[in-house]
Amino acid sequence: MPKQFDLLVFDWDGTLMDSAGAISYSIQAASRDMGLSVPSDSEARHIIGLGLNEAVAALFPDLPRSDYGALVDRYRHHYLSRDLDIPLFGGVAETIAALHEQGFLLAVATGKGRRGLNSVLECTGLGKYFHSSRCADECHSKPHPCMLLELMDELGVSQAKTLMIGDTSHDLLMANNAGVAAIGACYGAHPPESLKALSPIACVEDFGELSRWLNVHA
């Protein structure tokens, strides 16, 4: 079958890497360190995918901006202490390599900062397969369409030939705002109902199902 899409854009945390639990824990631990009210697991997971400043503003709207840096530093302290132990979802490495071999353009659009993304791309060995990436510290944060618009422009791919794959409503809203199709990864940070409400072309229950969908339909 001819390819339906030329460019596949993946979110990272909760879509390729099983990191939602570690992110939630680190947010809660940083909040305790700062003497702030500790968000619930669902509240912490809801802001996954946003840039760090946007996440802090959403969780702690009354926190002075002058305290953002200290809270972000505590978050990074807790997250980086676990970073090297966070696994990819099963089958991710093989699937990304196969998609690259099949001729797809592959990209990452993530709430991570550039330093964090470069680190995981290197330590997982996946960096060589991705043609480009955008991070929250160099673009507008999701759900603004900037990341997708810049990737499509750089790689010369139209909206109709671009597919966004992510596990949060921020990912799917970004896709809607950019006018591209999206797949909801219902095994990640946000509950399936919040993803299905945004009308993705498919919702998948685990990475294996995502891999099979891409193999048949992409």
First vs last C-alpha separation in the chain: 9
Parallel/antiparallel/unpaired status of strands 105-110 and 7-10: parallel
Which of these is catalytic: 6, 11, 167, 171? 11
Of the candidates 130, 119, 141, the residue with the CA atom closest to the CA atom of residue 8? 130
Which of these is catalytic: 6, 13, 18, 171? 13
Instruction: Report the C-alpha gap between 11 and 133 in whole angstroms.
Output: 10
Whether 11 is catalytic is yes
| Phi, psi angle pair for 187, to nearest 5° | -100, 5
Whether 153 is catalytic is no
Burial of residue 140 (CB within 10 Å: 0-12, 13-18, 19+) is: middle
Q: What residues act catalytically?
A: 11, 13
